[in-house]
Structure 1
């Protein structure tokens, strides 16, 4: 056990787990020592069972049944056990020898019992320990070749009844139920290991179906059932390999399973069985998948399976057919098809599908904007700059925002026709502003500001209205050139903030005061600013945080 140090624990656990483990040293109990291992219980959110392998001169390792440890991490509970035993070599040596003595004593005692006494002992223990009884029943049924008995025991192990209140397993009991369900997985693996793989295949499938039917009845927040589902998937794969399951029959089950709710439990990918299916099985897999898809062309599971099988076989035409059978009304599916064709080097077809996506969208305002980006990019690459501008113009006309305006400006600038396009775009926005009434010119003000046409933006804001953020932006852009206009904006916004409290409002107000001071400097009226600040201090003096903030900024 020598060689275990804090430095090694810190290195293998990481800084965060090590620091958290420091607080759990006092929660370590029931330390047992064996040859090369140390076991204990550590009380955390629950009581966790921990096994530490000190590693001698190498790095320590271990297992813990907490959620973090179940994922293969060296958790805080392992750190706590390691810290608890560091420097206790003499105690560990005595504990190890004591454990050996106890094991030898138990073995000697059991060996000295008569057959009748040993049977009586086992019966007594199985009467007290239901889990032990079920494990032994499974072994007995397996030894007898009693498939019906094994099936019955597995059904009992997967029954939620003993753990459920009102038909539902609560979070606190989910771990215990998963431990019991894990015994069913062990039994199935045992069948495969004992040469009865065909029975293992059948029972794995039954168990998957049973467990999938219980998902809604168990609070699996920590993913315990997900782990059991993954173990069942592994047990099924191993059994199919050992049993040399008929490829066509296996293909049919895989497709049926992939389209069933149980697929969410096991996450079985039919392509993971490719080595067991051979050429005949893979052909059957694709055939069954196509049959299912033809029955339900819009089903998510059917489309996903078809797509993955087609991609694995580099069957681009099938990929396109799957997408084309369920086209989204906003052109998104057309975009997916265009990308697939582009990747396959079929650029002309890709362009045709992208253009179809635009044409077949009833209202271009609802089109997937990524499709517009894609098609504009393809037009630009092909030197079709006029087409790129037309597309951006149509999209802007249907969806007049600052974003679509910027996109139109970029395309038209590339095509050297922005002044003319800008005039048309601004005409549309002015018409919108006139129809909308008060505050209807917000998009117009935004695009003029984005064009850095500040004077025109002031005019539009005055004529059609703007929101406070736009007025503030206008003022910030215009302090040196239009200080009087900027000052009027700042004073109005400051007056509103004087009626508010809270540090955020105070910070905004002080920022405005600094801008107001800059405007007065440009206007040559510093005395007016001093008078304003004096008035503000007199009326706002109860706001101590505001006064402190003003002093910090020399106001």
Structure 2
């Protein structure tokens, strides 16, 4: 028994990752079974290391992979592949786990029996062969003897990108190797904190974050692996601060300075994560510094975002509204954001008032954030103000002249039981556009799209002559084929003529569909022989297009 099944893997990974994992079964190698876990490598875009925990009595399982998706704490396709491989070998897993336990017990007993001299000899042997282990132990030793100069030099060396920058730039292929060194630096910082050097680790982490920020612009971190390792350095800084309790105001100044520095985008520091260390005085100092930054540069994105975070944490809705009101987007998106903040605070009347203000402020704009218009109309409908909702939709149609705006007006007017009146006025507006030859999105007038959307086929026929584009003609013919086959046939024949020139599978499929409709019209008219003559001539004309002939055959033509 391995304690899990395929359904567990599918639930953890999701359907997409599970299906993709099926394709990696042959890419799993080096499977090693431990007491409670399995490790393996999976060959994909790169070679990825996977560790998969075996289900216990409760069936709980998990997986870790060093691919970019896995490092975001996702159960990826590589984990799925390893899990499925374990299930394939389910019969042998219990014996392998028992063997792993025996090996572990044997190793523990053997180590316990070694003398001090023998243990030292063993460690020296390992560090001579394993450079990474040697570096880690050197750092631990330096931290233990408070040799912070050595610790600092080693950490800075680990995050120095120059050994990886063959052309003055860390290329994509080298980013993973560099990220491993940055992660090692983070581990060294955590070790320094654990060894009683938390105060020193704070300063070292801050220097490391500064160096990383300066170097990040010269690194191709397309997969985000360096950013993830840098985040580990930032977490090590937070851990050290929680142990060392540095001066709150000094920490506030460093955090604000780092967050507000536009050139440092390698780590996403959030001062609120440090709230327990900063205390009230430190948070107040952060807010003061951010306020000063906004005064100097009101449009600064980082300062605005940080101030928004601080105000939300404090629950100061009025200050938050004032912050957003300083820079109102002409689309109304900011008005909507303010309305949503007020709504969340239980201030619905003020929220709707801000949304209404957004419509007034943006009334001359062709583009208004559709979510703002929806917000206002939903608010009106909820309050029983249906006439006002209809008026908003009517105004938007006058400005946008789009099928979407027409549909929204129709929906609101039907709710208010006044669509008949509104429809006449709306069509008059669109008809005036059609007279001025202001085409719709696809070339033909929106008026024709609106009539077709209403199902008013007769009116659409009247308006289409000399105005409709091919898309609209085809739609009109499709809706009329059964009732007016003769008129539909004329449309389809014109479209066939225009469709003979383009080549390629998509063009040929469209031509075949049009010809099927031509045949349907002839059948409805009882002129199938006429279609046979027409189609034979068309095949003769286009016979050199072998792919077209094949597609026509497949469609039964």
**Same-fold status (TM-score > 0.5):** yes
TM-score grouping bracket, smaller chain normalisation: 0.7 to 0.9
**Structure 1: gaps spanning 5 or more residues:** none
TM-score (norm: length of structure 2): 0.81
Give the aligned CA root-mean-square deviation in angstroms.
4.2
Aligned residue number for residue 332 of structure 2: 331
Q: How does 1:138-149 map to 2 (within 5 A)?
A: 138-149=139-150
Worse-matched range after superposition: 340-349 or 89-98: 89-98
* 1:448 paired residue number: 451
1:79-478 alignment to 2 at 5 Å?
Answer: 111=117, 134-135=135-136, 137-261=138-262, 264-361=265-362, 363-436=364-437, 442-462=445-465, 464-478=466-480
CA contact (8 A) 1:274 1:282 kept: yes
Structure 1 position 10, deviation (Å): 6.3
2:340 partner SS: helix
Q: Deviations over 1:72-128 (max 9, x none)?
A: 7546468779989985969996998799799969x9799379x9xx8xx969977x9
Contact residue 34 and residue 96 of structure 1 kept, 8 A: no
Q: 2:534 aligns with which of 532, 542, 545?
A: 532
SS at match of 1:265: coil
Equivalent residue, structure 1, for 2:14: none
Equivalent residue, structure 2, for 1:514: 516
1:485 aligns with 2:487: yes
Deviations 1:510-537 (A, max 9, x none): 4333333333344343443343344345
> Secondary structure at 1:213's aligned position in 2?
helix
**CA spacing shift, 1:18–1:515, aligned 2, 3 Å:** closer
For the Cα contact (< 8 Å) 1:212–1:261, is it kept in 2?
no
- 1:216-254 CA-to-partner distances (Å, cap 9, x unmatched) read 222323333223222212211211111122333333333
Q: Which moved more, 1:308-317 or 1:54-63?
A: 54-63
Structure label with greater radius of gyration: 1
Q: Secondary structure at the match of 2:426?
A: helix
Q: CA deviation at 1:59?
A: 7.8
Q: Go from structure 1 to structure 2 and tell me whether the alpha carbon gap of 1:75 and 1:378 turns closer, same or farther (over 3 Å shift).
A: closer
Does the 8 Å contact 1:341/1:350 carry over to 2? yes
5+ residue gaps in structure 2? 11-17
Task: Note if contact 1:64-1:77 (Cα within 8 Å) is conserved in structure 2.
Answer: no
Q: 1:490 to 1:253 in 2, by over 3 A?
A: same
Q: Is the 8 A contact 1:507 1:549 kept in 2?
A: yes
Alpha carbons of structure 1 residues 104 and 171: separation in structure 2 relative to 1, 3 Å: farther
Cα 1:103–1:66 change in 2 (3 A) is farther
2:26 aligned residue: 23
Rounded Cα–Cα distance in structure 1 between residues aligned with 2:452 and 2:376: 28
The 1-side partners of 2:510 and 2:435 are apart by 33
Q: Is the 8 A contact 1:21 1:76 kept in 2?
A: yes
Contact kept? 1:364, 1:395, Cα under 8 Å? no
* Alpha-carbon offset, residue 547 of structure 1: 5.5
Mapped partners of 2:273, 2:214: distance in 1: 24
Deviation at 1:270, TM superposition (A): 1.9
The structure-2 alpha-carbon separation of the partners of 1:540 and 1:397, relative to structure 1 and needing over 3 Å to count, comes to same
TM-score, length basis structure 1: 0.81
Per-residue deviation, 1:130: 6.3
Q: Which moved more, 1:401-410 or 1:8-17?
A: 8-17
Structure 1 residues 345 and 189: CA distance shift in structure 2, 3 A? closer
* Number of residue equivalences: 542
